[in-house]
Chain A
Amino acid sequence: MLRQVPACCTFPAVHILLIEDDTEAARVLVKGLSESGYTVDHAADGREGLARALAGRFDLIVTDRMLPHIDGLGIIQQLRRARLATPVLVLSALGTVDDRIRGLKAGGDDYLTKPFAFAELLARIEALLRRRPSATESTVLRVADLEFDLLARKVTRAGQEIELTAREQKLLEFLMRREGQVVTRTMLLEGVWDLHFDPQSNLVDVHISRLRQAIDRGAERLLIHTVRGSGYVLREEEE
C-alpha cells in the first residue's frame, strides 16, 4: 500500500523549528518530519528554542509546552512581543479541556495533546502552513465541477443544485477551503462542531459518508477521499 505524500512538498524547503526537551521523542519526530519533506531544526530547551526562533527564519514553530528555562507559552509571548507572526503549534502533556483553551488563548495557533498520531501532527502542520490570508476573499468556492456560493449558501455539482443542511454546508466549506489538504477527524470536530475533545463514536465518519453521498453519488469523479490512518481530503483526483 502506498503512503499518502502530503501536499507540503510542493513548497520549496519548508523550515520547521521543533522545541522539545524529550530528546528521544524529538529524534523520532525530526526523522518523521524530514521524511515528509520538511527541513527541521531541533532545540532542546526553552532558552535555546527562543534564541533560535528569534534569529532564524522559520515557517513554523512546533514547541512543547513544558520546557526547561522558558515554557512554550512564554516563548510565544516573547515572539509576539518581537513582532514575529510565525505560526506556532503547541504540544502538551497537559490534556484537560481548560489547558487546551488556555494554550490557544495564550497565542498559540494550534494545540495538540501528547500522545498524538504522527498523521495528526502532519495534518495540522500542513494546515498552519497553508493558513496564509489569501489576497482576495472569494465568495464562491470551486473544486472541479463542485461549486459553493457562500453568499447564497447554494451548493451545485455540475450545475445541479445539491440540498444540504446548514451543518453539512459547514462541513463542506471546511473541506473545500482546505482543498488538497489532509483533514483529520479531530480537526473536523474542532472546526465544524467546536468540540475540543474526542467522542468515542465514529461521528465524523458517519457525517462524512452522508456528505459524500450527497456530493459524489452518481458523479464520475469522486471528490471526498479517505486517507487511511489520517482522515479525509477533498480534491479533484480519482482514487
Chain B
Amino acid sequence: MKEGRRWGGLFNTSAFRMSMGYTLLVTLAVCVTLGSTFLLTQSIIQGDVDLILDTELKSLENEYVRSGIPGVTEEINLRIDSWGRIGAVYMLAGPKFDRLAGNVTNWPFDGAPTEPWPEFRIESIEPGQRSVHPVRTAVRKLPNGDWLLVGTDMSQDRRYVRTFQIATLWGIGLSILAAAIAGFSFSFRLARRVGDVTVTCVRIMSGEQGHRLPVAGNSDEFDALATSVNRVLDRLEEQTRTLRATFDSVAHDLRAPLHRLRTRMDAVLRLPALEPGIREPVESALREVDRLQRTLATLLQIALAESGAPLASPAPVDVGELADELVELFEPVARERGLTLTGRADHGVIVEGNRQLLAQLITNLLENALKYVPAGGRIEVAVKRLADRADLVISDNGPGMQSEERQRAGQPFARVGQHSGLESSGLGLSLVSAIARLHRARLTLEDNAPGLRAIVSLPAVEAQLSPESSSRSISA
C-alpha cells in the first residue's frame, strides 16, 4: 500500500513526465535516423542494380544496332558462358515471346510487363535444397519487334536488406529500452533526492531543528541547492537560539526587579500593626504586580511558541479526558455565574503534545467564554475523533465576535475587541493560537449563530489506547 503510493507518487513527478517525454523524443529520433538509413541503403542497392541492368540493356541494344539479332544472340551467349556478373539473367524473345536465346527457358511475364522494373522468381533445384531466387529485370522492345530481357538475381541483395532491416529494428528497440531505463532511473533518482529534501523539511518543521539536507558530495546542482538551503536553516536556527536567549534574558531582567518589588511589598504587609490605610493600597498594588507578572508570562509563552522552537518532550495526551477534567473544574464557577457548562467528550482521543499547554489552551477558551457570555447562557465543550484528527470544539451562545475580529484573533499578538475594561482578552486568544500552532493544530473561530465556536483541530495519534491505559491518575 505504502509502496504503491510511493510508485504512484513517482508517476506524478515532473521528473517522470520529463523523462517520459525524453524517452519519446529519443525513440522518434532513433526511428527517423535508422529508418531513413535503411530506406536510403535499400534504394542505393536497388539503384546500383538498376544502373547495371540499364547499362547492359543499352550495350545489347547497341550490339543490335551494330550487327542485328545474330550479334545480340552471340553476345548474350558469350555473356552467359563467361564469368561475368553473378546471377545475371538474359533472354531474347520473339514478338510472341518465344525464346530465341538466353538462360531463361520461358518468358516469365504475361505478355509485355507494364512496370519499369518487373520482377519474377526462378525456382532452382540445387543438390539438397530448393531455393527461390527473386529476379529484377529490365525489358526492351527491339525495333524489329523482338523482346530483350536483362535481369539480376536479387537474393543476395535481399538478404543484405533483410539483415539490415533486422539490425535496424533491434537498434530501435534497444535504443528505446535504454532511453526508457535511463529516463526512469533519472526520474527515480531525481524524485528520491527531491523526496529526501521534502522529508528533511517536514522533519525540521515538526521541530527537529538539528536536521540538514543531505549533501552527496558530487558537487552537482542538488548539492548546491542543499548547501544553500542548509545555510538558510543554520541561519534560522541561530536566530531561534538568539531569540530564545533574548526571551530568557528579558524574562530574567524583568522578573528580577518584579520579584524584588513583590518581596519588599510582601515584607511591608508582614509588618506588625500595619495601619489599614497602608495595607489596602499595598495589597492592591501587589495585585497589579501579579497581573503584570501574569501578562509577562503569557507574552513570553506566546513569543516562545511563535519562535518556532519545537514542543519540548511531547507525550501522548487524552484530550477527551483532559477536556472533561477541565469542564468539571470550571462547572461550579460557571454555575455561580448563572451559566450552563456541559462537556461531550469522547475519551481515548490521543494527541502528541504537552498536557499543561493543552490544558492552558482549553482554560483560556473557557475563561474567554465565561467572561463574555451573559448569565443564562450556555457553554459546551466537545471532543470528537475525526479520521486522523481530534477536534476540540468550545461553543457558546454569547455575543460572539465580528467576522473580521474572528480572523484577527488567530494572529499572534492581535488584540481583539474594544472591551478595554476586561483583562488581556486578546492575549488569551493569542496564546490559544500559539499553543495550537505548537501542536500543529488548526484553530478556527466560527459564528455559532448566536455566539462563538472555537474549533481546535489537532493531529491525532493513530493507535488508540485502551481506556485503562489512557486514564492517568493525578498524584496528590
Do A and B pair up? The answer is yes
Say whether A93 contacts B251, CB under 8 Å: yes
User: Any chain B CB within 8 A of the CB of A9?
Assistant: no
Say whether B336 contacts A114, CB under 8 Å: no
Say whether B367 contacts A118, CB under 8 Å: no
Say whether B260 contacts A95, CB under 8 Å: no
Say whether B267 contacts A95, CB under 8 Å: no
Say whether B259 contacts A170, CB under 8 Å: no
Given the known interface contacts A3-B272, A177-B476, the answer about A115 and B332 at a Cβ–Cβ threshold of 8 Å is: no
- Could you tell me the distance between the alpha carbons of A168 and B260 in the complex, rounded to whole angstroms? 37
Say whether B474 contacts A199, CB under 8 Å: no
Given the known interface contacts A206-B333, A207-B332, the answer about A115 and B360 at a Cβ–Cβ threshold of 8 Å is: no
Segment at the interface with B among A26-34, A129-137, A215-223: A26-34
- Of residues 86 through 119 on chain A, the ones whose CB sits less than 8 Å from some CB of chain B are 93-98, 101-102, 113-119
User: Any chain A CB within 8 A of the CB of B256?
Assistant: yes
Say whether B354 contacts A117, CB under 8 Å: no
Segment at the interface with B among A37-45, A70-78, A186-194: A186-194
- Of residues 291 through 307 on chain B, the ones whose CB sits less than 8 Å from some CB of chain A are 293-294, 296-297, 300-301, 304
User: Any chain B CB within 8 A of the CB of A159?
Assistant: no
Segment at the interface with A among B185-193, B223-231, B323-331: B323-331
- Could you tell me the distance between the alpha carbons of A192 and B359 in the complex, rounded to whole angstroms? 14
Say whether B251 contacts A115, CB under 8 Å: no
Say whether B256 contacts A22, CB under 8 Å: yes
Say whether A202 contacts B333, CB under 8 Å: yes
User: Any chain B CB within 8 A of the CB of A239?
Assistant: no
Contact of B356 among A28, A97, A191 (CB under 8 A): A97
Say whether B356 contacts A196, CB under 8 Å: yes
Contacts of B264 in A (CB 8 A): 28
User: Any chain A CB within 8 A of the CB of B248?
Assistant: yes
Name the residue on B nearest A102 (C-beta): B312
Say whether A195 contacts B359, CB under 8 Å: yes
User: Any chain B CB within 8 A of the CB of A198?
Assistant: yes
User: Any chain B CB within 8 A of the CB of A82?
Assistant: no
User: Any chain A CB within 8 A of the CB of B211?
Assistant: no
- Could you tell me the distance between the alpha carbons of A22 and B357 in the complex, rounded to whole angstroms? 30
User: Any chain A CB within 8 A of the CB of B344?
Assistant: no
- Report, as a range, how many residues of chain A touch the other chain: 35 or more
User: Any chain B CB within 8 A of the CB of A58?
Assistant: no
Name the residue on A nearest B269 (C-beta): A229
- Could you tell me the distance between the alpha carbons of A25 and B333 in the complex, rounded to whole angstroms? 36
Name the residue on A nearest B294 (C-beta): A198
Say whether A93 contacts B304, CB under 8 Å: no
Contacts of A207 in B (CB 8 A): 329, 332
Given the known interface contacts A28-B267, A114-B255, A114-B258, the answer about A193 and B474 at a Cβ–Cβ threshold of 8 Å is: yes
Say whether B258 contacts A192, CB under 8 Å: no
User: Any chain A CB within 8 A of the CB of B266?
Assistant: yes
User: Any chain B CB within 8 A of the CB of A35?
Assistant: yes
Name the residue on A nearest B266 (C-beta): A118
Say whether A167 contacts B328, CB under 8 Å: yes
Contacts of B357 in A (CB 8 A): 97
User: Any chain A CB within 8 A of the CB of B252?
Assistant: yes
Say whether B293 contacts A115, CB under 8 Å: yes
User: Any chain A CB within 8 A of the CB of B263?
Assistant: yes
Name the residue on B nearest A167 (C-beta): B328
Contacts of B289 in A (CB 8 A): 115
**Shortest distance in angstroms between A232's beta carbon and chain B's nearest beta carbon?**
15
Say whether B301 contacts A29, CB under 8 Å: no
Contacts of A59 in B (CB 8 A): none
- Could you tell me the distance between the alpha carbons of A115 and B355 in the complex, rounded to whole angstroms? 24
Say whether A170 contacts B252, CB under 8 Å: no
Interface-central residue, B313, B325, B330, B333, by most chain A CB under 10 Å: B333
Say whether B293 contacts A194, CB under 8 Å: no
**Shortest distance in angstroms between A141's beta carbon and chain B's nearest beta carbon?**
11
The 8 A CB mask of B245-286 against A (1 = contact, 0 = none) is: 000100110011011111110110110100000000000001
Contacts of B208 in A (CB 8 A): none
- Could you tell me the distance between the alpha carbons of A22 and B251 in the complex, rounded to whole angstroms? 15
- Could you tell me the distance between the alpha carbons of A199 and B304 in the complex, rounded to whole angstroms? 20
Contact of A66 among B252, B294, B360 (CB under 8 A): B252
Name the residue on B nearest A210 (C-beta): B332
- Could you tell me the distance between the alpha carbons of A25 and B261 in the complex, rounded to whole angstroms? 9
Contacts of A117 in B (CB 8 A): 262, 266, 286, 290
**Shortest distance in angstroms between A14's beta carbon and chain B's nearest beta carbon?**
19
User: Any chain B CB within 8 A of the CB of A203?
Assistant: yes
Say whether B258 contacts A115, CB under 8 Å: yes
Contacts of A114 in B (CB 8 A): 255-256, 258-259
Contact of B359 among A98, A102, A118, A197 (CB under 8 A): A197
User: Any chain A CB within 8 A of the CB of B98?
Assistant: no
Contacts of B258 in A (CB 8 A): 114-115
User: Any chain A CB within 8 A of the CB of B155?
Assistant: no
Contact of A95 among B262, B297, B333 (CB under 8 A): B297
User: Any chain B CB within 8 A of the CB of A160?
Assistant: no
Contacts of B370 in A (CB 8 A): 201
Given the known interface contacts A35-B270, A97-B301, A201-B370, the answer about A170 and B329 at a Cβ–Cβ threshold of 8 Å is: no
User: Any chain A CB within 8 A of the CB of B470?
Assistant: no
> Can you list 16 residue pairs at the A/B interface with Cβ under 8 Å?
A24-B260, A25-B260, A93-B256, A95-B251, A95-B255, A97-B301, A97-B356, A114-B255, A114-B259, A116-B259, A117-B290, A167-B329, A191-B475, A201-B333, A206-B332, A229-B269
Given A32-B266, A96-B301, 16 other A-B residues pairs in contact with their CB atoms under 8 A: A93-B256, A94-B251, A94-B252, A95-B255, A98-B312, A102-B312, A114-B259, A116-B259, A117-B262, A165-B328, A173-B476, A194-B355, A194-B474, A197-B360, A201-B333, A206-B332
- Point out residues on B near A: beta carbons under 8 Å: 248, 251-252, 255-256, 258-264, 266-267, 269-270, 272, 286, 289-290, 293-294, 296-297, 300-301, 304, 312-313, 325, 328-330, 332-333, 336, 354-357, 359-360, 363, 367, 370, 423, 474-476
Give 7 closest A-B pairs by Cβ, nearest first: A115-B262, A115-B259, A118-B266, A93-B255, A114-B259, A194-B474, A97-B356
